[in-house]
Amino acid sequence: MQLPFCTQALISLIREVVNLSHTLISLQNITKSFNGEVVIDDLNLNIHENEFITLLGPSGCGKTTMLRIIGGFETPDSGSVIFNGKNIINLPPNKRQLNTVFQKYALFMHMNVAENIAFGLKIKNKSDQYIKDKIKYALNLVNLDGYENRKPDSLSGGQQQRIAIARAIVNEPKVLLLDEPLGALDLKLRQDMQYELIRLKNELGITFIYVTHDQEEALTMSDTIVVMNQGYIQQMGTPEDIYNEPENAFVADFIGESNIIASTMIRDRLVEILGAKFECVDTGFGTNKPVDVVIRPEDIDLVKPSEGTIQGIVTHLIFKGVHYEMEVTANAHEWLVHSTDMFPVGTEVGIHVDPFDIQIMNKPESEDEEAVGVEE
Protein backbone atom coordinates (compact mmCIF):
# COMPACT_ATOMS: atom_id res chain seq x y z
CA MET A 1 0.00 0.00 0.00
CA GLN A 2 3.01 2.28 0.26
CA LEU A 3 3.17 4.83 -2.54
CA PRO A 4 6.50 6.21 -3.66
CA PHE A 5 7.46 9.28 -1.66
CA CYS A 6 7.14 11.74 -4.52
CA THR A 7 3.59 10.58 -5.30
CA GLN A 8 2.59 11.04 -1.67
CA ALA A 9 4.10 14.51 -1.63
CA LEU A 10 2.23 15.40 -4.82
CA ILE A 11 -1.06 14.19 -3.42
CA SER A 12 -0.63 16.16 -0.21
CA LEU A 13 0.36 19.23 -2.26
CA ILE A 14 -2.80 18.92 -4.35
CA ARG A 15 -4.82 18.53 -1.17
CA GLU A 16 -3.25 21.68 0.25
CA VAL A 17 -4.00 23.69 -2.86
CA VAL A 18 -7.59 22.47 -3.02
CA ASN A 19 -8.10 23.17 0.68
CA LEU A 20 -6.50 26.58 0.47
CA SER A 21 -9.08 27.82 -1.97
CA HIS A 22 -11.89 26.79 0.36
CA THR A 23 -10.40 27.95 3.63
CA LEU A 24 -13.06 29.99 5.44
CA ILE A 25 -11.50 30.44 8.85
CA SER A 26 -7.82 30.32 9.55
CA LEU A 27 -6.55 30.34 13.12
CA GLN A 28 -2.94 31.44 13.24
CA ASN A 29 -0.58 31.12 16.20
CA ILE A 30 -3.37 31.44 18.76
CA THR A 31 -2.14 31.56 22.36
CA LYS A 32 -4.39 32.11 25.36
CA SER A 33 -3.76 31.83 29.07
CA PHE A 34 -5.96 32.40 32.11
CA ASN A 35 -4.25 33.57 35.31
CA GLY A 36 -0.87 32.47 34.03
CA GLU A 37 -2.11 29.04 33.00
CA VAL A 38 -1.70 28.39 29.29
CA VAL A 39 -4.93 27.00 27.85
CA ILE A 40 -4.08 27.23 24.16
CA ASP A 41 -0.49 27.18 23.00
CA ASP A 42 0.44 28.47 19.54
CA LEU A 43 -2.44 26.75 17.78
CA ASN A 44 -2.90 26.76 14.00
CA LEU A 45 -5.99 25.44 12.28
CA ASN A 46 -7.71 25.89 8.94
CA ILE A 47 -11.47 25.43 8.67
CA HIS A 48 -13.01 24.97 5.25
CA GLU A 49 -16.32 25.91 3.72
CA ASN A 50 -19.17 23.43 4.26
CA GLU A 51 -17.05 21.40 6.63
CA PHE A 52 -18.38 19.72 9.76
CA ILE A 53 -15.35 20.07 11.98
CA THR A 54 -15.29 18.82 15.56
CA LEU A 55 -12.96 19.97 18.29
CA LEU A 56 -12.69 16.92 20.51
CA GLY A 57 -10.90 16.54 23.81
CA PRO A 58 -11.23 16.09 27.56
CA SER A 59 -12.49 19.01 29.68
CA GLY A 60 -9.86 21.68 30.07
CA CYS A 61 -8.16 20.89 26.77
CA GLY A 62 -8.89 24.35 25.36
CA LYS A 63 -11.62 23.36 22.89
CA THR A 64 -14.35 25.61 24.32
CA THR A 65 -11.90 28.51 24.68
CA MET A 66 -11.02 28.01 21.02
CA LEU A 67 -14.70 28.24 20.07
CA ARG A 68 -15.18 31.34 22.23
CA ILE A 69 -12.22 32.97 20.48
CA ILE A 70 -13.81 32.30 17.08
CA GLY A 71 -17.16 33.61 18.37
CA GLY A 72 -15.55 36.74 19.79
CA PHE A 73 -16.30 36.12 23.48
CA GLU A 74 -12.64 35.70 24.31
CA THR A 75 -9.62 37.58 23.00
CA PRO A 76 -6.44 35.55 22.50
CA ASP A 77 -3.19 36.81 24.02
CA SER A 78 -1.63 36.60 20.58
CA GLY A 79 -2.39 35.27 17.11
CA SER A 80 -5.05 36.05 14.57
CA VAL A 81 -8.41 34.74 13.40
CA ILE A 82 -8.72 35.16 9.64
CA PHE A 83 -12.32 34.96 8.43
CA ASN A 84 -12.84 35.20 4.67
CA GLY A 85 -9.40 36.75 4.33
CA LYS A 86 -9.87 39.39 7.03
CA ASN A 87 -8.51 39.42 10.55
CA ILE A 88 -11.58 39.65 12.81
CA ILE A 89 -9.73 39.56 16.12
CA ASN A 90 -10.89 43.07 17.07
CA LEU A 91 -14.51 42.65 15.97
CA PRO A 92 -17.08 42.29 18.78
CA PRO A 93 -19.36 39.21 18.60
CA ASN A 94 -22.29 41.20 17.20
CA LYS A 95 -20.24 42.21 14.16
CA ARG A 96 -19.14 38.68 13.24
CA GLN A 97 -20.88 36.67 10.52
CA LEU A 98 -21.28 33.60 12.63
CA ASN A 99 -23.73 32.37 15.22
CA THR A 100 -23.38 30.20 18.26
CA VAL A 101 -25.49 27.48 19.82
CA PHE A 102 -24.56 27.58 23.49
CA GLN A 103 -24.19 24.90 26.07
CA LYS A 104 -27.49 24.63 28.02
CA TYR A 105 -29.22 26.54 25.18
CA ALA A 106 -29.12 30.06 26.70
CA LEU A 107 -32.64 30.83 25.48
CA PHE A 108 -34.30 34.09 26.49
CA MET A 109 -36.70 32.85 29.14
CA HIS A 110 -38.78 36.04 29.16
CA MET A 111 -39.69 35.65 25.49
CA ASN A 112 -41.73 33.03 23.69
CA VAL A 113 -40.32 30.78 20.99
CA ALA A 114 -41.16 33.14 18.10
CA GLU A 115 -39.62 36.12 19.90
CA ASN A 116 -36.49 34.11 20.61
CA ILE A 117 -36.08 33.17 16.98
CA ALA A 118 -36.93 36.70 15.79
CA PHE A 119 -34.37 38.34 18.10
CA GLY A 120 -31.48 38.55 15.66
CA LEU A 121 -33.74 39.51 12.75
CA LYS A 122 -35.43 42.34 14.69
CA ILE A 123 -32.01 43.73 15.60
CA LYS A 124 -31.26 43.79 11.88
CA ASN A 125 -34.57 45.64 11.21
CA LYS A 126 -35.99 43.00 8.88
CA SER A 127 -39.61 43.43 7.80
CA ASP A 128 -42.37 41.78 9.80
CA GLN A 129 -43.35 39.55 6.89
CA TYR A 130 -39.73 38.44 6.38
CA ILE A 131 -39.40 37.63 10.09
CA LYS A 132 -42.69 35.72 10.10
CA ASP A 133 -41.62 33.63 7.10
CA LYS A 134 -38.22 32.96 8.63
CA ILE A 135 -39.71 31.79 11.93
CA LYS A 136 -42.00 29.40 10.07
CA TYR A 137 -39.12 28.14 7.95
CA ALA A 138 -36.80 27.65 10.92
CA LEU A 139 -39.40 25.89 13.06
CA ASN A 140 -40.16 23.59 10.15
CA LEU A 141 -36.46 22.87 9.73
CA VAL A 142 -36.12 21.78 13.36
CA ASN A 143 -39.43 19.88 13.31
CA LEU A 144 -41.21 22.13 15.78
CA ASP A 145 -44.00 23.59 13.61
CA GLY A 146 -46.64 25.46 15.58
CA TYR A 147 -44.50 26.11 18.66
CA GLU A 148 -44.40 29.92 18.08
CA ASN A 149 -46.25 30.94 21.22
CA ARG A 150 -44.77 28.47 23.68
CA LYS A 151 -42.48 29.68 26.44
CA PRO A 152 -39.02 28.06 26.53
CA ASP A 153 -39.52 26.63 30.03
CA SER A 154 -42.54 24.65 28.82
CA LEU A 155 -40.31 22.76 26.36
CA SER A 156 -38.18 19.67 26.88
CA GLY A 157 -34.39 19.86 26.72
CA GLY A 158 -34.26 18.55 23.18
CA GLN A 159 -36.91 21.01 22.02
CA GLN A 160 -35.11 23.90 23.71
CA GLN A 161 -31.94 22.88 21.95
CA ARG A 162 -33.69 22.88 18.60
CA ILE A 163 -35.07 26.37 19.29
CA ALA A 164 -31.52 27.51 20.09
CA ILE A 165 -30.41 26.12 16.73
CA ALA A 166 -33.37 27.73 14.94
CA ARG A 167 -32.59 31.06 16.63
CA ALA A 168 -29.04 30.89 15.30
CA ILE A 169 -29.68 29.70 11.74
CA VAL A 170 -32.39 32.26 10.80
CA ASN A 171 -29.57 34.80 10.68
CA GLU A 172 -28.04 32.85 7.78
CA PRO A 173 -24.55 32.66 9.28
CA LYS A 174 -21.66 31.36 7.23
CA VAL A 175 -20.53 29.36 10.22
CA LEU A 176 -22.46 27.82 13.07
CA LEU A 177 -20.53 27.30 16.30
CA LEU A 178 -21.91 24.59 18.57
CA ASP A 179 -20.62 24.30 22.14
CA GLU A 180 -21.44 20.82 23.46
CA PRO A 181 -25.06 21.36 22.39
CA LEU A 182 -26.16 17.81 23.14
CA GLY A 183 -24.39 17.49 26.49
CA ALA A 184 -27.52 17.91 28.60
CA LEU A 185 -29.67 15.46 26.66
CA ASP A 186 -30.25 11.80 27.38
CA LEU A 187 -28.67 9.11 25.20
CA LYS A 188 -31.58 8.34 22.88
CA LEU A 189 -32.35 12.00 22.25
CA ARG A 190 -28.67 12.71 21.73
CA GLN A 191 -28.48 10.10 18.99
CA ASP A 192 -31.60 11.49 17.29
CA MET A 193 -30.19 15.01 17.44
CA GLN A 194 -26.92 13.82 15.89
CA TYR A 195 -28.80 12.75 12.78
CA GLU A 196 -30.79 16.01 12.85
CA LEU A 197 -27.58 18.02 12.94
CA ILE A 198 -26.08 16.14 10.00
CA ARG A 199 -29.30 16.69 8.04
CA LEU A 200 -29.35 20.39 8.97
CA LYS A 201 -25.74 20.83 7.94
CA ASN A 202 -26.43 19.27 4.55
CA GLU A 203 -29.62 21.28 4.00
CA LEU A 204 -28.07 24.59 4.98
CA GLY A 205 -24.73 24.02 3.31
CA ILE A 206 -22.80 25.98 5.92
CA THR A 207 -19.77 25.25 8.08
CA PHE A 208 -20.34 23.68 11.48
CA ILE A 209 -17.70 23.98 14.19
CA TYR A 210 -18.67 21.56 16.90
CA VAL A 211 -17.14 21.20 20.36
CA THR A 212 -17.58 17.99 22.32
CA HIS A 213 -15.84 15.62 24.71
CA ASP A 214 -17.89 12.70 23.41
CA GLN A 215 -15.80 10.70 20.96
CA GLU A 216 -18.78 8.78 19.61
CA GLU A 217 -20.57 12.03 18.77
CA ALA A 218 -17.45 13.26 17.00
CA LEU A 219 -17.04 10.05 14.98
CA THR A 220 -20.71 10.01 13.96
CA MET A 221 -21.08 13.54 12.67
CA SER A 222 -17.76 15.02 11.62
CA ASP A 223 -16.03 15.48 8.30
CA THR A 224 -12.91 16.38 10.23
CA ILE A 225 -12.01 15.72 13.83
CA VAL A 226 -9.45 17.80 15.69
CA VAL A 227 -8.31 15.96 18.80
CA MET A 228 -7.05 18.42 21.40
CA ASN A 229 -5.31 18.01 24.71
CA GLN A 230 -3.69 20.53 27.02
CA GLY A 231 -3.93 23.32 24.48
CA TYR A 232 -2.34 21.38 21.64
CA ILE A 233 -3.79 19.69 18.59
CA GLN A 234 -2.93 16.01 19.03
CA GLN A 235 -4.24 14.86 15.69
CA MET A 236 -6.45 16.11 12.92
CA GLY A 237 -8.14 14.02 10.26
CA THR A 238 -11.24 12.21 9.10
CA PRO A 239 -13.03 10.03 11.65
CA GLU A 240 -11.59 6.93 9.90
CA ASP A 241 -8.04 8.30 10.12
CA ILE A 242 -8.38 9.21 13.76
CA TYR A 243 -9.89 5.85 14.71
CA ASN A 244 -7.77 3.56 12.57
CA GLU A 245 -4.47 5.38 12.65
CA PRO A 246 -4.11 7.27 15.92
CA GLU A 247 -0.84 9.14 15.98
CA ASN A 248 -0.16 8.79 19.68
CA ALA A 249 -1.30 6.97 22.79
CA PHE A 250 -3.51 9.87 23.89
CA VAL A 251 -5.56 9.81 20.70
CA ALA A 252 -5.74 6.02 20.71
CA ASP A 253 -6.92 5.98 24.30
CA PHE A 254 -9.35 8.87 23.94
CA ILE A 255 -11.01 7.63 20.75
CA GLY A 256 -12.65 4.31 21.48
CA GLU A 257 -11.23 1.46 23.50
CA SER A 258 -7.84 0.08 22.71
CA ASN A 259 -4.95 -2.07 23.84
CA ILE A 260 -1.87 0.13 24.04
CA ILE A 261 1.26 -1.97 24.56
CA ALA A 262 4.87 -0.89 24.81
CA SER A 263 6.72 -2.92 22.14
CA THR A 264 9.83 -3.04 20.04
CA MET A 265 9.96 -2.48 16.29
CA ILE A 266 12.42 -5.15 15.17
CA ARG A 267 12.55 -4.03 11.57
CA ASP A 268 10.12 -2.83 8.89
CA ARG A 269 6.90 -4.88 8.98
CA LEU A 270 7.89 -6.86 12.10
CA VAL A 271 7.14 -5.88 15.69
CA GLU A 272 7.79 -7.70 18.95
CA ILE A 273 4.83 -7.44 21.32
CA LEU A 274 5.27 -8.93 24.80
CA GLY A 275 8.02 -11.25 23.55
CA ALA A 276 6.11 -12.52 20.52
CA LYS A 277 6.77 -11.45 16.96
CA PHE A 278 3.83 -10.02 15.01
CA GLU A 279 3.76 -9.11 11.37
CA CYS A 280 2.56 -5.59 10.64
CA VAL A 281 2.42 -3.18 7.69
CA ASP A 282 4.29 -0.19 9.12
CA THR A 283 7.71 0.86 7.91
CA GLY A 284 10.17 3.61 8.64
CA PHE A 285 10.46 3.29 12.40
CA GLY A 286 14.04 1.96 12.30
CA THR A 287 15.32 -1.24 13.78
CA ASN A 288 15.00 -2.36 17.41
CA LYS A 289 13.23 0.86 18.24
CA PRO A 290 10.85 1.07 21.25
CA VAL A 291 7.33 1.97 20.07
CA ASP A 292 3.73 1.91 21.29
CA VAL A 293 1.39 -0.53 19.59
CA VAL A 294 -2.37 0.06 19.38
CA ILE A 295 -4.70 -2.84 18.75
CA ARG A 296 -8.45 -2.22 18.84
CA PRO A 297 -10.33 -4.82 20.91
CA GLU A 298 -12.52 -5.80 17.95
CA ASP A 299 -9.41 -6.49 15.81
CA ILE A 300 -8.19 -9.31 18.03
CA ASP A 301 -9.20 -12.77 16.84
CA LEU A 302 -9.44 -15.48 19.48
CA VAL A 303 -8.42 -18.84 17.98
CA LYS A 304 -7.29 -22.29 19.12
CA PRO A 305 -4.17 -22.04 21.29
CA SER A 306 -2.05 -23.76 18.65
CA GLU A 307 -3.10 -21.28 15.95
CA GLY A 308 -2.44 -18.08 17.95
CA THR A 309 0.67 -15.93 18.03
CA ILE A 310 0.35 -15.74 21.81
CA GLN A 311 -1.52 -18.08 24.15
CA GLY A 312 -3.61 -16.92 27.10
CA ILE A 313 -6.56 -17.57 29.38
CA VAL A 314 -9.91 -15.77 29.40
CA THR A 315 -10.23 -14.07 32.80
CA HIS A 316 -13.34 -11.93 32.44
CA LEU A 317 -16.46 -12.12 30.33
CA ILE A 318 -19.18 -9.51 29.99
CA PHE A 319 -22.15 -9.53 27.63
CA LYS A 320 -22.47 -6.08 26.02
CA GLY A 321 -25.40 -6.63 23.69
CA VAL A 322 -23.79 -6.35 20.27
CA HIS A 323 -20.70 -8.27 21.36
CA TYR A 324 -18.97 -9.98 24.26
CA GLU A 325 -16.23 -8.12 26.07
CA MET A 326 -13.48 -10.40 27.31
CA GLU A 327 -10.24 -9.96 29.11
CA VAL A 328 -7.52 -12.38 28.15
CA THR A 329 -4.36 -12.66 30.20
CA ALA A 330 -1.48 -13.54 27.90
CA ASN A 331 2.21 -12.99 28.48
CA ALA A 332 1.45 -11.08 31.70
CA HIS A 333 -0.73 -8.57 29.88
CA GLU A 334 -4.49 -8.13 30.04
CA TRP A 335 -5.83 -7.93 26.50
CA LEU A 336 -9.22 -6.34 25.95
CA VAL A 337 -11.10 -8.30 23.30
CA HIS A 338 -14.49 -7.67 21.66
CA SER A 339 -15.99 -10.60 19.83
CA THR A 340 -19.36 -11.97 18.83
CA ASP A 341 -18.06 -15.43 19.79
CA MET A 342 -18.22 -16.31 23.44
CA PHE A 343 -15.34 -17.96 25.28
CA PRO A 344 -16.13 -18.87 28.92
CA VAL A 345 -13.81 -17.73 31.70
CA GLY A 346 -10.91 -20.16 32.02
CA THR A 347 -10.77 -21.12 28.33
CA GLU A 348 -7.30 -21.37 26.88
CA VAL A 349 -7.15 -19.34 23.71
CA GLY A 350 -4.70 -18.18 21.12
CA ILE A 351 -4.46 -14.51 20.10
CA HIS A 352 -4.20 -13.65 16.43
CA VAL A 353 -4.03 -10.16 14.95
CA ASP A 354 -4.01 -9.38 11.23
CA PRO A 355 -0.96 -7.32 10.20
CA PHE A 356 -3.00 -4.30 9.04
CA ASP A 357 -4.85 -4.17 12.40
CA ILE A 358 -1.64 -3.38 14.24
CA GLN A 359 -1.05 0.36 14.54
CA ILE A 360 2.51 1.42 15.41
CA MET A 361 3.11 4.80 17.12
CA ASN A 362 6.28 6.57 18.13
CA LYS A 363 6.89 6.73 21.88
CA PRO A 364 6.08 10.17 23.31
CA GLU A 365 9.21 12.27 23.46
CA SER A 366 8.75 13.84 26.87
CA GLU A 367 7.56 12.50 30.21
CA ASP A 368 4.94 15.24 30.14
CA GLU A 369 3.10 13.88 27.19
CA GLU A 370 3.03 10.40 28.62
CA ALA A 371 1.47 11.62 31.85
CA VAL A 372 -1.52 12.98 29.98
CA GLY A 373 -4.70 12.04 31.77
CA VAL A 374 -7.68 10.77 29.89
CA GLU A 375 -11.15 11.51 31.07
CA GLU A 376 -14.28 10.22 29.45
Partner 1 sequence: MRRLSELKNKRFLATPYFIWSAAFIIIPLCMVFYYGLTDKSNSFTLENIMSIGSIENFKALILSLALSLVSTLICLLLAYPLAMILNNLNVNQSSFMVLIFILPMWMNFLLRTLAWQTLLEKTGVINSLLNLLHLPTLNIINTPYAIILGMVYNFLPFMILPIYNVLIKIDKNVINAARDLGANGFQTFGKIIFPLSLPGVLSGITMVFVPALTTFVISDLLGGSKILLIGNVIEQEFKQSSNWHAGSGLSLVLMIFIIISMLITEKYDDGGIMS
**Can you give the binding site for partner 1, defined by CB under 8 A?**
71-73, 92-94, 99-100, 102-104, 106-110, 119-120, 123-124, 167-168, 171
Residue 233, CA distances (Å) to 58, 63, 215, 236 in order: 12, 10, 15, 7
Q: How far is the CB of 169 from partner 1 (least distance, A)?
A: 11
Residue 99 vs 234, nearer CB to partner 1: 99
Q: How far is the CB of 291 from partner 1 (least distance, A)?
A: 44
Whole-number Å distance between alpha carbons of 35 and 46: 28
Whole-number Å distance between alpha carbons of 229 and 354: 31
Residue 99 vs 212, nearer CB to partner 1: 99
State CA 331 to chain mean position distance: 34
Residue 91 vs 236, nearer CB to partner 1: 91
Q: How far is the CB of 168 from partner 1 (least distance, A)?
A: 8
Residue pair 325/337 in contact (Cβ under 8 Å)? The answer is yes
Q: How far is the CB of 164 from partner 1 (least distance, A)?
A: 8
Q: What is the largest CA-CA distance in the chain?
A: 78
Q: What is the CA radius of gyration of the chain?
A: 24
Rounded to 5°, angle at Cα 30 from 25 and 31 = 160
- Among the listed residues 295, 287, 277, the one whose alpha carbon sits nearest the alpha carbon of residue 336: 295
Residue 276 burial (10 A CB sphere; 0-12, 13-18, 19+): middle
Residue 92 vs 344, nearer CB to partner 1: 92
Q: How far is the CB of 179 from partner 1 (least distance, A)?
A: 8
Residue 123 vs 262, nearer CB to partner 1: 123
Residue pair 301/285 in contact (Cβ under 8 Å)? The answer is no
Whole-number Å distance between alpha carbons of 97 and 202: 19
Q: How far is the CB of 109 from partner 1 (least distance, A)?
A: 7
Residue 73 vs 343, nearer CB to partner 1: 73
State CA 166 to chain mean position distance: 24
Terminal Cα distance for the chain, rounded: 34
Neighbours of 38 (CB within 10 A): 15
Q: How far is the CB of 63 from partner 1 (least distance, A)?
A: 16
| Total length of the chain | 376
Residue 183 vs 305, nearer CB to partner 1: 183
Q: How far is the CB of 227 from partner 1 (least distance, A)?
A: 25
Residue 45 vs 168, nearer CB to partner 1: 168
